[in-house]
Amino acid sequence: MSTAITTPVTVEQFMSLDLPEGREWELHDGEIVDMGEPSLNHRELQRRILHLLERLFPNAEVLIELPFQGGNSFRSADVGLTSRDRRSKATKVLEGAPELVVEVLSPSNTVKALKEYRRHCFDSGTQVFLTVDSDDRTVQVHLKGQTDGRTYGAEEQISIELFGATITVDVAEIFG
């Protein structure tokens, strides 16, 4: 027998739910959201970004679908980068958002939802938020405390300062 949930759900309640398998589930401000299943191209781009960030930040922890919670939300970063110290303290989920979050755009992303997600990440500890668009081969970079992001094309380089180091990313390398 199924039960309809009509009130906001807490993170603790969400973690104890027996949700259908084969789907990705998140909690967005108390609302349970079915994230669907990422496409093969989406997963390949995540993997490519993972390997790139692991090489550029050898002393950090980089994970695909990195689970984190902040406020009344339980989310997963498409690719998340955090300090090894923070990762070692996490058991099932990272408390607060990763320091760097990468969102790979998919057809289900809306401008409003992406803006809310980015704001949630910044409010929960993210310093750098990247939005990767494989359709036009661009990366939009948002930094905490800045109102506008900057979009980089495949022929450009992105400079990212994090953990006291500045690294350079060739956008073309993200897209292979």
| pLDDT for the residue numbered 92 | 83
**pLDDT tens per residue across span 109-121:** 889 999 999 999 9
Q: Are 128 and 144 in contact (CB under 8 A)?
A: yes
Residue 36 CB burial class (10 angstroms; 0-12, 13-18, ≥19): exposed
Contacts for 48 with CB less than 8 Å, ≥ 6 apart:
174, 175, 176
pTM of the model: 0.90
Q: Are 78 and 109 in contact (CB under 8 A)?
A: no
Q: What residue type is assigned to position 133 of the chain? A: D
**pLDDT tens per residue across span 9-35:** 888 888 888 888 878 888 988 899 888
Q: What residue type is assigned to position 59 of the chain? A: N
| pLDDT for the residue numbered 6 | 59
| pLDDT for the residue numbered 147 | 84
| pLDDT for the residue numbered 83 | 94
| pLDDT for the residue numbered 5 | 57
Q: Is the dihedral of CA 105, 119, 87, 62 positive or negative?
A: positive
Q: Are 155 and 172 in contact (CB under 8 A)?
A: yes
Q: Which CATH class is domain 38-175?
A: alpha beta
CA atoms of 91 and 32, how far apart (whole Å): 22
| pLDDT for the residue numbered 47 | 97
Which residue from 71, 74, 77, 75 is spatially nearest to 50, judged by alpha carbons? Answer: 77
**Residues of the chain whose pLDDT is less than 50?**
1-2
Domain range list for the chain: 38-175
Per-residue tokens: 87? 């990762």
Q: Are 81 and 100 in contact (CB under 8 A)?
A: yes
